Amino acid sequence: MGCCERSCCWPCCNVCAMIMLAVTFCLLVWGTSGLLWLSINNDHIGLQKASLKQSNLGEFTFDKCPPSIKSFCDKWESAGKGALAMIIIAIIALVPAAIFAVLFFIPEDSCGPAPTNGMIATLGAFLCEAIVAFLCFVIAIQYAKGTDGARGNAVLSLNYIGVIIAGILMVIAAAIHLTFGTCAKDVRDGSSDIGGDNSGKV
């Protein structure tokens, strides 16, 4: 499976699929590491509450959190940087989403009125990219608020789970690309079946 034989400006399906898989890898690492950090943060919050309770009772108080964890978990000092990073990632995700949306609406007259595999693939890619961008904006808002504490972490954990789901959707979109053998506008001739692949052109 390769690029279309005809000379055109449309990207190769394999290139798009590899890019999607790379983005997926980043999203999954990002989401799982975020959930791990929140788990450590919540453990630290629990130890802080237990330590405060012991102090109020006049008992000996101590913090079991290692200094490195304590300084990292006490508060989100990088909230502004985190929000800015999420906004940048969201904008980056919106760029291919816009491209895929434009490509989806380009008609393929040779295939008739039925949606082609290329249109379906680009629509799937657009939806995945749009979901990623939306989740990035949601997380950016959470960071900008300086959310902390167990309640805030519970809300943010849902966003990280959403990022993981978006990564899974990107895998599905990449699979659609590879299965259909097309990334953008399909290059076909009038002999192609409606909605079918033209194996001689990919």
Block residue for tokens 């506008």: 185
Q: Which tokens hold the place of 148?
A: 């902390």
Q: Tell whether the model's pLDDT for residue 12 goes beyond 60.
A: no
Four-CA torsion 138, 142, 143, 145, nearest 10 degrees: 130
- Does 67 map to a domain? no
- Does 3 map to a domain? no
Four-CA torsion 17, 3, 8, 20, nearest 10 degrees: 0
Q: What is the pLDDT of residue 4?
A: 41
143-201 confidence digits (pLDDT tens): 666 555 555 556 566 666 766 777 777 777 677 666 665 554 444 444 444 344 444 44
Block residue for tokens 């990292």: 72
102-134 confidence digits (pLDDT tens): 666 655 544 455 566 666 666 776 777 777 777
The identity of residue 1, as a single letter, is M
Q: Tell whether the model's pLDDT for residue 46 goes beyond 70.
A: no
- Does 7 map to a domain? no
- Does 47 map to a domain? no
Q: What is the pLDDT of residue 85?
A: 65
**Rounded Cα distance, 128 and 121, in Å:** 11
Block residue for tokens 């990073």: 85
State the average pLDDT for the chain: 60
Q: What is the pLDDT of residue 29?
A: 74
Q: Which tokens hold the place of 28?
A: 């999954």
- Does 44 map to a domain? no
Q: What is the pLDDT of residue 161?
A: 72
- Does 150 map to a domain? yes
- Does 170 map to a domain? yes
The identity of residue 74, as a single letter, is D
Name the domain count of the chain. 1
Classify the C-alpha dihedral 108-113-116-119 as positive or negative.
positive
Band of residue 53 on the pLDDT scale cut at 50, 70, 90: low
Q: What is the pLDDT of residue 25?
A: 76
Q: Tell whether the model's pLDDT for residue 9 goes beyond 50.
A: no
Find the domain containing 115 and state its range: 13-35+76-187
**Rounded Cα distance, 94 and 78, in Å:** 24
- Does 53 map to a domain? no
